[in-house]
Structure 1
Amino acid sequence: MSELSDVHSGARPWHSKYPLQVKPSYDYPKSNIAKLLIDAETAYPNNEALDFLGRSYTYKELLRQCRKMANALKALPIAKGDRVAIMLPNCPQAVVSYYGALMAGAVVVQTNPTYTERELHFQLVDSGATVLVVLDLLMPRVVKAREKTAVRFVVVTSLADGLPFPKNLLYPIKRRKEHPDLKVDYNGEGVKRWSAFVGQGVAQAICEEVNAEEDLAMLQYTGGTTGRPKGVMLTHANLLANTRQVDAWCYRLEPGKERYLAALPMFHVFGLTVLLNQAIGRAGTLLLLPRFEPRMALETIRRRKPTVFPGAPTMYISLLDHPLAKDGDFASVRLCVSGAAPLPREVQERFELQTVGKLIEGYGLTEASPVTHCNPIWGFRKNGTIGLPLPDTDARIVGESGLEPLPPGEIGELAVRGPQIMKGYWNRPEETAEALREGWLRTGDIGTMDEEGYFTIIDRKKDIILAGGYNVYPREVEEVLFEHPAIKEASVAGVPDAYRGETVKAFVVVKIGWQVSEMQLDRWCRERLAAYKVPRSYEFRDSLPLSLIGKVLRRKLKEEEEENDLNLT
């Protein structure tokens, strides 16, 4: 826990803005994080843990499957500290693999199912994973990527393994039609079929004892936006602390009663904490979606009436603007926590009009398990900010070098520390020493803190556009574009310019049924922004490139722009 001796000195002004129900500091469990599931099953064995497109799993059934998985891994054998990679979308097998591996004492390596062969090979080699649990559709990539790695066993599953009858019988027919060339060699070296592998495991109670503050629960890889992805070492204590911090912030949610719409991918650290660990820790029901597809999400919302819906701004936009969306569809939702990208105020206001609950913005990063800040849900929030640091979390705005805090209102880099901050980067001591100083993590995000302790993120340090000697923050320009009634989505990036060195370009998606010209947008921006911040050009697109978590890939837009320039020359 953080020291609280200087609370009254004004060093942590945010504590005075906490709701009465939230304490500045808590005690955190020091156990294997898989105990979240064991404790939930003990208290609510017959409650529904998972719903996967109509198939339901109780906590008793889920724990039994996780124990079988853990014992099957032990029998391979997997020793404490060995790495188990999981390359699955949101499905029951992903949950079973995650908690099963943790119960066995393994370190989980969540692997993005969209990785190319090269990206997958790098992660497998870097992590030293010896087991990979993977979806059958991804096996062609795995067969090649596995070469010259430490992977000895590949456990292959299909979405059909988690589907209800008769979908489980119909899915293989659909798969053969869509992927006629797909063949999985179950006789290959170390390749095991999910049903046989988990089926042979015994359901004997198992949960490896750990030193929670030292032993790793996960290697969670960064997005690789600044060079090669790095394996972030998250301990059991890190993940338990962040789960408890978020739990304390969401104090009105009731154990055993909440239904979580799991549209965020759980292989991403945001979905892992605010969905998987959070829902299981509260003995709630996870409504699993294998991917975010608006029609499927709407059908699940109508069928199961979720009460909690963590997501990314693009998800809320897609649902609000979907032609099949009707008034009342989102009435059951009491709480939405938006992360992964800045939340436009217009989207926040529109979505809240459709629900009985709150849509609030939070902030986090992989190195912090990931949540560090959030706006009060049922207290005073400041729109446009990321809110207040969570309990036991210190935060400050610092200058280019050193860790001395800048005065309120000044722009600098956000630094954070707390029990959720990573142990370091896997096998990268120099980069660990550079990122962590005296327990503080420099985030690479530029922002400010006001007098009351509310923080605002202006932009990523690396995304700042230097146009003619002036700093332009893309998020500020994007907020202005989002306020225009015709704009559905917008992203702003710096592109090369012969005169200014770099200039501002806007990429926009227009709402269905609306029309707007470049001249109209230029006039709109000039009325609201200083001249040097106004985009010099606009590109109208049908969609923007998104990560699986719904974050606009600004880097991809810049790469496309650079490629176009090369083609023109």
Structure 2
Amino acid sequence: MRERQVPSPYGNYAHAVITAGARRHPDRVAVTYEGGLALTYAGLDARVNRRANALKQAGVSAGDRVAVLLRGTLGIAETYLALAKLGATLVTLNPYWSDDITTTMVERSKCSAFVYEGAFDALAAGISPKLPQVSRWLRLGGATADSVDLDQLTEVASDQEPELGAHYDDELALFFTSGTTGLPKAVVHTHASALATAQQWLDVPHNNDSVFGTGPIIWGVGYFAIAGPALYAGMHLVLENDFGPARVLEAVPAQKITHISVIPSFFSQLFGTDGQADADLSSLRVVLLGGEPLLPSLRQRILDRLPGVALCSYYGQTEAPYTVVGYQHDNSQDVRASGRARTGCAVRVVDAEGRRLVGEVGDVWLTGPHLMRGYDADPERTAEVLREGWYVGGDIGVLDESGTLTVLGRRQDAIRRAARYVLPGEVEDAALSIDGVAEAGAVGVPEDADHQRILLAVQKAPGSDLDALTVQKQLADRMPEDARPDAVVVVDALPHAQDSSGGQGKLLRREIRDHWAHLAGENHEQ
């Protein structure tokens, strides 16, 4: 009989990400937490092993699904890696969900354990009676009458690596989409797909002295797309519990941070933060921008503020993280382009029949070893977006002859005019070139009409006396007639998603429509 082969430990995500680093460079600093606690790679690996053994003692086994609701970045790092070593499936919960959505997602995901921290005591107490299938409530920060003190178990647990419970194509985690329509979708990633995502640094400049700064945005897929890759690459990871603009202005010079990854509108907010002009940001060498379009006007402001920085764009989705990487600082691509498929991945643009297009607008398809396995317990929706090994996510774009992709936006966000589609970014970028405009968002109204009016909402810069008629008049000189907004609303703040980073999240265009669509025939200040 053929002997059963034991899987390589390097097929386990956590072993490959942190244990391998502990063997390569045990004394190199892996993590600095909140500007104080510093852990070497060997030290972090030992802490992860203790957390894994504590979870095992609490009854968590390979194959279990474990709901995790944390904001503290060190707790996230240790718990995510520990569950991966055990072979339990991490189910990442969004700290900004309502109690009802949290309950539904835990129930649908068939979780048998729930890890949380003290900030969520009230939520845990409220939802636990509704979740009888959750038999173990594990708390960071001390026990309660209904929970086990996971920190205390961790403190006395062995630092020897437990038996690795999952490898390669085994299920690693459920990450949830934003749920802009209906409930969030549960995206299943494996150890293999997460490791493929971790290899993104093959395409981004870095070296042994690189210091990557991040905040609690790493809950969910952010960990596997941001923090995990930094550790996999042997970088020094600076973890902060607040990584909003004000804290970034302090942390970058204090920790000599060289790399950050944020959404472009983070810089819109940073440029309006007191003291930013005098802050020493000279240690920054690489800035990764993704998650929303990078408008040329904002790109130039960033490069003016950070001369010499390598400004990298990236594009992907929860289902296919960091598929495309590009370079915005060296004129190697058009300023609106996202970049090329990174090593081992591929991208194409196709027409309605699936035929490949070059130089023409079509649907963006992505593929590579980093693709999700599918949506949990939803084969029909999985079949809609996974086609012949490609992920079809609903974005439209253009691919040039060199393979450089320009993402034009969500097909559902494109504004339908009589003769053509107008992309929100066209209008927003023109608006940002007007003095006094801090941010802009454009939508088509009514939502489902064949011909839509363009509603532009602009946020005034602090101290500005900008009015809607001024915006309208200046845009008349900067835009073709069929792309000019039909109505302009000037407001003090635009709606954004919560992203747990301490800064504003993505612009919520749907809420612009919900708030101000009724004004689409007029110009207003609010």
Asked if these proteins are the same fold (TM beyond 0.5), I'd say yes
Normalization by structure 2: what TM-score? 0.89
Q: Which has the higher contact order (CA 8 A, sep 6+)?
A: 1
- Quote the residue 2:5 is aligned against: none
**Distance 1:328-1:139 versus aligned 2 partners, 3 A rule:** closer
Paired residue for 1:197, among 145, 153, 162?
153
1:46 and 2:27 correspond:
yes
- Please give the residue correspondences for 1:56-135 in structure 2 after superposition, counting only pairs within 5 Å: 56-58=37-39, 59-135=41-117
1:308 and 2:259 correspond:
yes
| CA displacement 1:433-452 (0-9 Å, x = unmatched) | 11111101112001111222
- Quote the residue 2:459 is aligned against: 509
**1:396–1:449 contact (8 Å) kept in structure 2:** yes
Paired residue for 1:33, among 13, 17, 25?
13
**1:50–1:288 contact (8 Å) kept in structure 2:** yes
Paired residue for 2:483, among 533, 545, 567?
533
**2:313–2:328 contact (8 Å) kept in structure 1:** no
**Secondary structure, counterpart of 2:319 in structure 1:** helix
Letter in 1 for 2:36: R
**2:138–2:149 contact (8 Å) kept in structure 1:** yes
Show structure 1 runs of 5+ residues with no match.
Answer: 1-27, 162-184
Letter in 1 for 2:256: K
**Distance 1:133-1:562 versus aligned 2 partners, 3 A rule:** farther
Paired residue for 2:318, among 362, 366, 374?
366
How much has 1:235 moved relative to structure 2? 0.9
How much has 1:52 moved relative to structure 2? 2.2
| CA displacement 1:142-170 (0-9 Å, x = unmatched) | 22233333322222235xx9xxxxxxxxx
Q: Distance in 2 between matches of 1:519 and 1:378?
A: 35
**Secondary structure, counterpart of 2:217 in structure 1:** coil
**2:55–2:150 contact (8 Å) kept in structure 1:** no
Letter in 1 for 2:153: F
**Distance 1:65-1:38 versus aligned 2 partners, 3 A rule:** same
- Quote the residue 1:254 is aligned against: 207
Q: Distance in 2 between matches of 1:558 and 1:147?
A: 38
**Distance 1:327-1:197 versus aligned 2 partners, 3 A rule:** same
Paired residue for 2:426, among 470, 476, 489?
476
**Distance 1:29-1:240 versus aligned 2 partners, 3 A rule:** farther
1:220 and 2:175 correspond:
yes
**Distance 1:548-1:498 versus aligned 2 partners, 3 A rule:** closer
How much has 1:381 moved relative to structure 2? 2.9
Letter in 1 for 2:252: I
**Secondary structure, counterpart of 1:375 in structure 2:** strand
**Secondary structure, counterpart of 1:392 in structure 2:** coil
- Quote the residue 2:472 is aligned against: 522
Letter in 1 for 2:66: V
Letter in 1 for 2:300: E
**Secondary structure, counterpart of 1:96 in structure 2:** helix
How much has 1:544 moved relative to structure 2? 2.0
1:438 and 2:396 correspond:
no
How much has 1:30 moved relative to structure 2? 5.9
Over the matched positions of the two proteins, sequence identity in percent amounts to 26
**Secondary structure, counterpart of 2:130 in structure 1:** coil
- Quote the residue 1:560 is aligned against: 515
**Distance 1:498-1:392 versus aligned 2 partners, 3 A rule:** closer
- Quote the residue 1:22 is aligned against: none
**2:295–2:425 contact (8 Å) kept in structure 1:** no
Normalization by structure 1: what TM-score? 0.83
Letter in 2 for 1:195: D
| CA displacement 1:423-465 (0-9 Å, x = unmatched) | 1111011111111111011120011112222111112012122
Letter in 1 for 2:118: D
**2:312–2:329 contact (8 Å) kept in structure 1:** no
1:399 and 2:354 correspond:
no
1:543 and 2:493 correspond:
yes
- What's the RMSD between the two structures over aligned residues? 2.5
- Quote the residue 2:292 is aligned against: 341
**Secondary structure, counterpart of 2:129 in structure 1:** coil
**Distance 1:282-1:90 versus aligned 2 partners, 3 A rule:** farther
How much has 1:498 moved relative to structure 2? 12
- Quote the residue 1:298 is aligned against: 249
Paired residue for 2:139, among 153, 156, 174?
156
How much has 1:121 moved relative to structure 2? 0.9
**Secondary structure, counterpart of 1:341 in structure 2:** coil
Show structure 2 runs of 5+ residues with no match.
Answer: 1-7, 500-504, 521-526
**Secondary structure, counterpart of 1:146 in structure 2:** helix
**Distance 1:523-1:563 versus aligned 2 partners, 3 A rule:** closer
